[in-house]
Structure 1
Amino acid sequence: MFQSFTETSDPTRGAERVSALREAMQRHDVQGFIVPRADEHQGEYVAKSAERLAWLTGFTGSAGTAVVLADKAAVFVDGRYTVQVRNQVDLDVFQPVPVMEISVAEWLKGNVSPGMTIGFDPWLMTRSEVRRIERALESVSARLAPVDINLVDAVWTDRPESPLSQVFEQTDALAGRSAAEKISEIQGILRDKRVVAFCATDPASIAWLFNIRGKDVAHTPLPLSFAIVRAEGRPSLFIDGRKLGNEMRDRLEQLADVSEPDRLLPALHELGSRDGEVLYDASGSAEAIAVAIETTGGHIVEGADPIALPKARKSEAELAGSRAAHARDGVAMMRFLMWLEGEATDGGVTEIDAAKRLEELRAEVGETDGVALEDISFDTISSTGLNGAINHYRVTEKSNRALAAGDLFLLDSGAQYRDGTTDITRTVLFGEAEAARLDLYRDRFTRVLKGHIALAMARFPKGTTGAHLDILARSALWTSGLDFDHGTGHGVGAYLSVHEGPARISKAGHVPLETGMILSNEPGYYREGDFGIRIENLIVVREPREVSGGDRAMHAFETITLAPLDRRLIATRLLTQPEISWLDTYHSRVFGALSGWPDLTAEERRWLDAACRPIVG
């Protein structure tokens, strides 16, 4: 199994660990300390050795920050984790704070006293974060100060070792372009920006640039590393040499100067001592990177990671691989849904059983197709009943529930194949529900479906951002006084991060959507303590095309996820004819793509035919 169901969160340790941290704070003469869920690369995906927030607080979500003062402590989370955090931390020690309502900076401003010093690790916070907090503290005559060592590390006595997974190649055939071509493109971008270099700190950007992958973090094929890309000359790659076999080292040394990670700071110092400005991503790179350049007199120009946007525009080879991965994944999902339907009769299936079964089916389909399942793309959200209301629920042996007749079952999962990354959510009715309950489920499910279809059918001009489109996924919910507290869609990588920037579909998604980007389309609805609904497909931004009778070319989306939706949860009366047509066309595509799978049985084909038949008629 690629996923463990062991409960790693332990709120009972919060008090003693916070006490130890406070003693370290006293030794280093700071009256507060900030603990973000981040590593030196500022990514969502961190190694076990960087799970400082989880170790300190018990909260295991993928985003969050803790602030510990001498007499109080708080954990800041977004809308995905407001329920989870209350279940995972000691509420006598930590105050859960929804970051949508009050930011870390605002909370500090209201809780510190004049003259206080708040410590932070400059490798774990970006310059943008540092500035916001500095301004808030200065307004109340307090200050933010870097510490020489991370104070959590100073008291985390059994901290795991840093990962050392072997680096391997993502072939040019799968990538669609050689690493040399990509390096040349990024160098051209740097010259256009009139900067001499850029320090890449995002391992996904580095993996894409050099056509390499690794397994340093769970579920995402990243080799943790840094790189300096110069406008002229060879780039430098800073990576632990123990991760490189002889053949991989030879390949990389043809492209770049390869050094150990401890040579990064001297290289940044040297870069700062030379003439010219260095591009720095103030919202995506550690404060320590900028300081290292400035220490020797260097000048930084703040701007976005220049690799992120080219990485998000998938090549034709990457898109072809992703479509193939989704067809393979669709067969596994079809078999899973068929299996689950049979289990509704026999009973006894649990959330863990379901997660295990889907992983088995993905592995089997990969073996049949000759493309092995490398990993899942995130911990499977296998949730039934009230657990479904937790946006990013992670099933454990402690929380595991049996699926009961009349409950909704929400499954959000994905796979990592060498040719593509998948992410799909389906909500299904397990067994039969009583009439009033079924009416409620159908109303909410269909409103989520209407938003999903509205986004899938969207046409939009060049320059449109995810923020412009986000309302399409929410409108049918808003009309009934309903909403959801997560983004509607995130970018997805090509055998890389399942959550990829810079584009997203959300109220805060301000990067224009461009041809070749892969994003998720996943509106939802959650009734706390009761049930949850989400429908997710991945979509590709198509190149602009002329519209009959129009005067401007428009982008559109291609849906590449292939799996039927639960027809029992659709209230047809709430759908318009165009929505019904979209749904019937989608199901026809699903049947056409999956019914010809080589080892599909007659029984499976009959089940698929029934699941994909037209909604009306």
Structure 2
Amino acid sequence: MSTHADRLSALREELARRRLDGFVVPLTDEHMSEYVGAYAQRLAWLTGFEGSAGSAVVLPAEAAIFVDGRYTLQVREQVDGSNWSYQSVPQTSVAQWLGAHAKEGARIGYDPWLHTRGWVAQATAALKAKGATLVAVETNPVDAVWPDKPLPSAARLVVQPNELAGRSSAEKRAEMADWLVSQGADAAVLSALDSIAWTFNVRGADVDRTPVALAYALVAADGTADLFVAPDKLTDEVRQHLGNAVRLHPRDAFADHLAGLSGKTIVADPERAVAAIFGALDRAGARILPLRDPAVLPKAIKNAAELGGHRAAQARDGAALARFLHWLSVEAPGGGVTEISAQNRLLAFREETGALRDLSFDTISGAGPNGAVVHYRVSEESNRPLEPNSLYLVDSGGQYQDGTTDVTRTVAIGTPTAEMRDRFTRVLKGHIALATAVFPEGTRGGQLDTLARQFLWAAGLDYAHGTGHGVGAFLAVHEGPQRIAPVGGAFVGGDEPLRAGMILSNEPGYYKTGEYGIRIENLVLVEPREVPGAERKLLGFETLTFAPIDRALIDLALLTPAERAWVDAYHAKVAAIVGPQLSGEAALWFSRAVAPLEG
């Protein structure tokens, strides 16, 4: 099956053999992961779409692919519109589309290990209105027609030492146990991979860009736990680290173990545990408490050791990025630099730190019009040179054992236009407004999102992505539950109260299709904020990312004195943290890049 059209035809034939009139293909795995291992890349194999979020539906005579605003351009470049119709989320959804397009009496298949129970309920209701039914499959039909499907990773687990984790696994499980007792529960299912890695202070290499291992876990109300992971992934060091209170089982024994929980009260997260887990617990006769995974919130609130590690990682990463920006200033004006050569050079600077474990996501290296593709991923076919008088957007990050980084800078190659400088400065003003916000405890990210958009809105402009996502501690670069995003939009989590210790991104942007993209991204820490005379407890943000902001793109006439002071103070801190790590020509360039604004 050399083409995606052939693959679509093969899947339709397989569905006909199974007496199915359609099938839903989400981009996730059995753990509801955002980034998945190669074995779970069914959507990419079937359609060619390489973004990090999406779904598809295949019916006998039509097929649709669903993406949000980040991928509006990318999906049209990668997926053949003659075979697939493009659907925009949240304007529509898979369930809504099925309700409108499935024929009466149709049997639409889904893999219960790849969907939440909530999604199953929505799709079932939508189809019922048409006299159609949703049918759980025992084996995934995409796998049946994927001849060279990769095997799951065999990488071994590694220990995340307590001095970096800040708390032992036993302490974390004891806290969970107290919570389970308060809920009257016997155990909690952990199926999110980053929750398992955080709870047991282990990391893995089963998913590109996210240091987690394929596993399931049950944490019991006595502080013990059952961990389900392939035995050959366990070293003696990891076994010793886990200790006798963690009972070890093969990963493929998890479903059978759930079947033995008759009469038990089990916490399962409706957002993170797949429908198959709820179904197994129901069939076993367990009492289910549909509550949030007890690792989610404590994982999001970083402790002192995690914050110390993050700051060390940011300082190291900032120096690597500064070296790259200096290199770019020398090489790009003369021509010969491409999106691929630039991202490879940035990777090399990070590797030269000697501490890089992986990238935290595939680098977004977008020159000119490719920068307008929000989650652009360069290929040999799309690779563009960095041309004079254009913009270059680079969004990148590193996974270090002491922290996870994520930073975006937009750079002028040559002389930017007045419009580019206007748009960049409006994005910068929004970035500053969010960075300097002071807000009462209990404030949601959705309440702050407007701050970053206001100056774009004033000019009739906007951007089709959230303004901020949570970030893990040597874990997922996109971590919940917190987000800064419009409530009810494509980015769930904008309604989560922000709490001191949470790390988020601050990344407003602007994208002009076919011409250029702009984004300025730093990571920020939610921290207590003291205000004289305040009658409520207040919070604010500490900026954690340190890299120069391109002065050539700032229209000083659009900045207020306070905004100019913020830029100068930020650059002074960048100079103090990154400057001592640089030498030679890079240090000379850097001193000019972070000098106070003039004029």
TM-score range, shorter chain: over 0.9
CA distance in structure 2 between the partners assigned to 1:192 and 1:573 by the alignment: 58
| In the alignment, structure 1 residue 386 sits paired with structure 2 residue 335 | no
**Alignment correspondent of 1:603:** 585
Where 2:580 maps in the other structure, the secondary structure is: coil
Where 1:320 maps in the other structure, the secondary structure is: helix
Q: Is the 8 A contact 1:546 1:552 kept in 2?
A: no
Shift of 1:114: 1.6
Q: Is the 8 A contact 1:129 1:283 kept in 2?
A: no
Deviations 1:402-421 (A, max 9, x none): 11101100000000111100
Q: Quick one: which of 253, 256, 263 aligns to 1:263?
A: 253
Q: Quick one: which of 443, 446, 449 aligns to 1:470?
A: 449
| In the alignment, structure 1 residue 93 sits paired with structure 2 residue 75 | no
| In the alignment, structure 1 residue 57 sits paired with structure 2 residue 47 | yes
CA distance in structure 1 between the partners assigned to 2:18 and 2:256 by the alignment: 26
CA distance in structure 1 between the partners assigned to 2:244 and 2:563 by the alignment: 53
| In the alignment, structure 1 residue 121 sits paired with structure 2 residue 111 | yes
**Alignment correspondent of 1:6:** none
Structure 2 counterpart of 1:417, one-letter code: Y
**Alignment correspondent of 2:31:** 41
Shift of 1:475: 0.6
Q: Quick one: which of 380, 387, 393 aligns to 1:410?
A: 393
Q: Is the 8 A contact 1:309 1:502 kept in 2?
A: yes
**Alignment correspondent of 1:548:** 532
Shift of 1:604: 2.7
**Alignment correspondent of 2:98:** 108
Shift of 1:254: 2.7
**Alignment correspondent of 1:229:** 219
CA distance in structure 1 between the partners assigned to 2:517 and 2:229 by the alignment: 42
**Alignment correspondent of 2:320:** 332
Q: Is the 8 A contact 2:173 2:224 kept in 1?
A: no
Q: Is the 8 A contact 1:219 1:376 kept in 2?
A: yes
Where 1:131 maps in the other structure, the secondary structure is: helix
CA distance in structure 2 between the partners assigned to 1:135 and 1:407 by the alignment: 50
| In the alignment, structure 1 residue 79 sits paired with structure 2 residue 69 | yes
Shift of 1:432: 2.5
| In the alignment, structure 1 residue 450 sits paired with structure 2 residue 429 | yes
Where 2:309 maps in the other structure, the secondary structure is: helix
- Matched residues, number: 593
**Alignment correspondent of 1:5:** none
TM-score, normalised on structure 1?
0.94
CA distance in structure 1 between the partners assigned to 2:72 and 2:203 by the alignment: 34
**Alignment correspondent of 1:4:** none
Deviations 1:72-95 (A, max 9, x none): 000000111111111111111111
CA distance in structure 2 between the partners assigned to 1:14 and 1:603 by the alignment: 49
Q: 1:432-443 maps to which residues of 2 (within 5 A)?
A: 432-433=415-416, 438-443=417-422
CA distance in structure 1 between the partners assigned to 2:194 and 2:275 by the alignment: 19
**Alignment correspondent of 1:318:** 306
Shift of 1:458: 0.6
**Alignment correspondent of 1:283:** 271
Shift of 1:140: 1.6
Shift of 1:19: 1.2
**Alignment correspondent of 1:274:** 263
CA distance in structure 2 between the partners assigned to 1:93 and 1:255 by the alignment: 53
CA distance in structure 1 between the partners assigned to 2:458 and 2:388 by the alignment: 30
Shift of 1:279: 1.2
Q: 1:66 to 1:475 in 2, by over 3 A?
A: same
Which blocks of at least 5 consecutive residues in structure 1 are unaligned?
A: 1-9
CA distance in structure 2 between the partners assigned to 1:602 and 1:58 by the alignment: 45
Q: Is the 8 A contact 1:252 1:258 kept in 2?
A: no
Structure 2 counterpart of 1:603, one-letter code: E
Deviations 1:190-230 (A, max 9, x none): 22222221111111000000000010011111111000111
CA RMSD of aligned residues (A): 1.2
CA distance in structure 2 between the partners assigned to 1:234 and 1:553 by the alignment: 37
Which blocks of at least 5 consecutive residues in structure 2 are unaligned?
A: 488-493
CA distance in structure 1 between the partners assigned to 2:328 and 2:248 by the alignment: 50
CA distance in structure 2 between the partners assigned to 1:63 and 1:342 by the alignment: 36
Structure 2 counterpart of 1:467, one-letter code: G
CA distance in structure 2 between the partners assigned to 1:344 and 1:307 by the alignment: 45
Q: 1:529-544 maps to which residues of 2 (within 5 A)?
A: 529-542=514-527, 544=528
Where 2:260 maps in the other structure, the secondary structure is: helix
Shift of 1:142: 1.1
**Alignment correspondent of 1:560:** 544
Shift of 1:233: 5.0
Where 1:519 maps in the other structure, the secondary structure is: strand
Q: 1:209 to 1:233 in 2, by over 3 A?
A: closer
Where 2:529 maps in the other structure, the secondary structure is: coil
Moved more, 401-410 or 249-258: 249-258
TM-score, normalised on structure 2?
0.97
CA distance in structure 2 between the partners assigned to 1:386 and 1:606 by the alignment: 31
| In the alignment, structure 1 residue 140 sits paired with structure 2 residue 120 | no
**Alignment correspondent of 1:211:** 201
CA distance in structure 2 between the partners assigned to 1:96 and 1:410 by the alignment: 26
Shift of 1:596: 1.8
Q: What percentage of residue pairs aligned between the two structures are identical?
A: 51
**Alignment correspondent of 2:490:** none
